[in-house]
Chains A and B, each alone.
Chain A
């Protein structure tokens, strides 16, 4: 049922076409060595998590979690509540530190970064939260402008970039509204615009659609997918909703009790789940 309306036809695809139109001729002009560059770049995973361990006191949250996400793909991590999904994505996005293990963005280790290096690393990724977490004291414009102010952009550039981002999420007419006066779906779109402000190559989504109704969920997922395609964004999302994975993810990993029990392309995991937890989750999704 979810497959019926693929995002290619979705309305928000339109404003993005201008980006593609600009980028396609440039690419065709490129020489073969540049193409080779792109090819090698594609081999370096956008995100690598290597043997992550995390415990709170004696309670083990994550145990030897490793995964690698290729550039431009949407990677879903699915699991029950308490499986460690949120901790995993918080560590991947440098909001929290693992007890051991490494996080790499585009081949660069970032997990040990401190000070300015840490701030720069955080700007390479955007984060979208379940509860939007917009700044109530700011307007829609002010929310999207914050990461740019923090990165030291000058006012006119901020102005242009924010307009561009609001155009992208189709909220240009609501720039002056207080952020929390919008509907849930609109607030999440503001949050997505804010997350993308600094031109990150990575987007983390922590249950980004769990607080939304089914229709809004679909429109947000379609937006994330089209952004991923148009901007070459790598998306790592955690969710407990199987339909989210089925709708937009290319790859999926199943997290159970702090370990990844199974991972692979969405289609193969769905058709032929190998792990017990995989069978259970897929079973629930097709019956419930």
Chain B
């Protein structure tokens, strides 16, 4: 039992590191991308600008392409990028790069969808107040969409827990890697089951936190 615990500690830390940092990075990158997509798609904000409509089309294709890649292939593809950014293409920190790249377009779509759910009338009210577009985005649209954005981010995190299991391919470690290499390939069923159990608990925990935050925001409205 003590052996299992000591075996689990490091991979758990690696998984947490990968999931949280890539969620943060994807939240920033994908979040801004999603804001941009919504801005370009929303006539009230973009003012029917045709150039923006073209940029939006190109961005849509790019995001869909990026989202089509199987994660394993994407991981290999961004190896040079990891080397460029973190100096190495192996290890937990290096795995954060492909995880962020995979999650960003996902987050972008989630943010775009959350923002488009806002009642256009509320946007009209903000526009009629004489507010600048930047202020409308940050002081109205994001707060209005917050519960839905938090649910989306929770979903992203859980998806990343799944993706991070594949990070073992580039030496990223983590619980999934432990379950596959130590548990499955070395016939240590107990280790495999424990690793999977920890992942289940992790996923439940993330979901509970996400739901809790969403509920407390909704309760104050």
B121 neighbours in A (Cβ, 8 Å): 129, 131, 133
B86 sits at the interface (CB 8 A): no
Q: For the complex, what is the distance from the CA of A138 to the CA of B142, rounded to whole Å?
A: 12
Inter-subunit contact B130/A119 (CB<8 Å): yes
Inter-subunit contact A127/B143 (CB<8 Å): no
Q: Which of B86-128 contact A (CB under 8 A)?
A: 119, 121-122, 124-128
B132 sits at the interface (CB 8 A): yes
Inter-subunit contact B125/A198 (CB<8 Å): no
Q: Give the distance to chain A from B220, nearest Cβ to Cβ, in Å.
A: 6
- Given A135-B144, A136-B221, A137-B144, A146:B122 Cβ within 8 A: no
Inter-subunit contact B221/A137 (CB<8 Å): yes
Inter-subunit contact A149/B125 (CB<8 Å): no
Q: For the complex, what is the distance from the CA of A180 to the CA of B220, rounded to whole Å?
A: 10
Q: For the complex, what is the distance from the CA of A29 to the CA of B66, rounded to whole Å?
A: 73
B146 sits at the interface (CB 8 A): yes
Binary contact track A132-165/B, C-beta < 8 Å → 1, others 0: 0111111000000011011100000000000000
B135 sits at the interface (CB 8 A): yes
Closest to A90 in B: B124
Q: Give the distance to chain A from B47, nearest Cβ to Cβ, in Å.
A: 8
Inter-subunit contact B129/A133 (CB<8 Å): no
Q: For the complex, what is the distance from the CA of A105 to the CA of B122, rounded to whole Å?
A: 24
From B119, B132, B146, B220, give the contact of A150 (CB < 8 A): B132
Closest to B44 in A: A95
Binary contact track A174-198/B, C-beta < 8 Å → 1, others 0: 0000101100000000010011011
- Given A127-B124, A180-B221, A119:B143 Cβ within 8 A: no
Inter-subunit contact B135/A137 (CB<8 Å): no
Inter-subunit contact B124/A147 (CB<8 Å): no
Q: Give the distance to chain A from B30, nearest Cβ to Cβ, in Å.
A: 22
Inter-subunit contact A135/B122 (CB<8 Å): yes
Q: Which one of B125, B143, B144, B221 has the greatest number of beta carbons of chain A within 10 Å?
A: B125
A247 sits at the interface (CB 8 A): no
Size range of the chain A interface in the assembly = 20 to 34
A225 sits at the interface (CB 8 A): no
B198 sits at the interface (CB 8 A): no
A120 neighbours in B (Cβ, 8 Å): 130
A93 sits at the interface (CB 8 A): yes
B125 neighbours in A (Cβ, 8 Å): 127, 129, 133-135, 191, 194
Binary contact track B35-78/A, C-beta < 8 Å → 1, others 0: 00000000000000000000000000000000000000000000
Q: Which of B8-58 contact A (CB under 8 A)?
A: none
Inter-subunit contact A138/B124 (CB<8 Å): no
Q: Give the distance to chain A from B11, nearest Cβ to Cβ, in Å.
A: 40
Give me the interface of A with B, judged by CB distance under 8 Å.
Answer: 93, 95, 119-123, 125-127, 129, 131, 133-138, 146-147, 149-151, 178, 180-181, 191, 194-195, 197-198
21 A-B residue pairs with Cβ-Cβ distance under 8 Å, sorted by A, are: A95-B124, A119-B130, A120-B130, A121-B130, A122-B127, A126-B128, A129-B121, A133-B119, A133-B122, A135-B126, A135-B140, A135-B143, A136-B144, A136-B221, A137-B143, A146-B126, A146-B139, A149-B131, A149-B135, A150-B131, A150-B135
Given contacts A122-B130, A127-B125, A129-B124, 19 further A-B contacts (CB under 8 A): A95-B127, A95-B128, A121-B130, A123-B129, A135-B122, A135-B144, A136-B122, A136-B144, A137-B140, A137-B146, A138-B143, A146-B129, A147-B131, A150-B130, A150-B131, A178-B221, A194-B125, A194-B129, A197-B129
